[in-house]
Structure 1
């Protein structure tokens, strides 16, 4: 029950991550920044959420996951026409930047992600949301 004077709706984030520790850390940061978070444990789960018609403002993808990798999922979701969502590749892997950028991600962030980095990205997403809303 959000009242009118609370300002913009909380940004909705999808976290696609198979490593529990990394997942918990990112979810904790998102909660701290008043972000609504959904979890997918691999790229296919993320794609399925989009196929079901779920919408998110920002998606954080880990690179190497079972079933479907982050970059594969980015490519598939972009191919479905999800152009308004900010796609963030997150990886400790040296080749992560290139893989995610080729796949169509907007941003690449090395692990571990810093709270300030996350906050800045969310502010940008909220700003865009407010302009288009």
Structure 2
């Protein structure tokens, strides 16, 4: 598998059921050369991991049909996915504690700003580059 010379090629999973949010977050992730997969429910996200897919970052909305973001985060962690950076996102500013209890690494209230997402992605890129040294 060929890797990007800068080491910034990342795989992102966007777990979001709202079309506008999906477009916005996908555009930001694309700016960082992230290969983005979209899941419209928490169940779709969990199924991707169960199929053996690997991601560097997961942006997971709290409120979704079928399986919400909190349940998805718990299940992703329960199947042994500990290396992926999971970012819980919600308009509910009180969701931080719930996401952290579920196993998320970070909580970001919506709307997510470019600066906030940029800092998180840069941290992952730096970690990946340091792991390659």
Q: Which runs of 4+ in 1 moved over 2 A?
A: 1-4
CA distance in 1, matches of 2:2, 2:114: 25
Distance 1:117 1:79, change over 3 A: same
CA distance in 2, matches of 1:74, 1:32: 25
Equivalent position of 2:114 in the other structure = 115
Q: Is the 8 A contact 2:8 2:32 kept in 1?
A: no
Structure 1, unaligned runs of 5 or more: none
Count the aligned residue pairs.
132
CA distance in 2, matches of 1:88, 1:25: 16
* TM-score normalised per structure 2: 0.93
Equivalent position of 1:131 in the other structure = 130
Show CA shifts across 1:20-62 (max 9, x none): 1111100011111221111000100000000000000000000
Q: Once superposed, what is the RMSD of the aligned Cα atoms?
A: 1.6
Structure 2, unaligned runs of 5 or more: none
CA distance in 1, matches of 2:3, 2:41: 35
Q: CA deviation at 1:9?
A: 4.4
Equivalent position of 1:93 in the other structure = 92
CA distance in 1, matches of 2:59, 2:3: 29
* TM-score normalised per structure 1: 0.93
Equivalent position of 2:103 in the other structure = 104
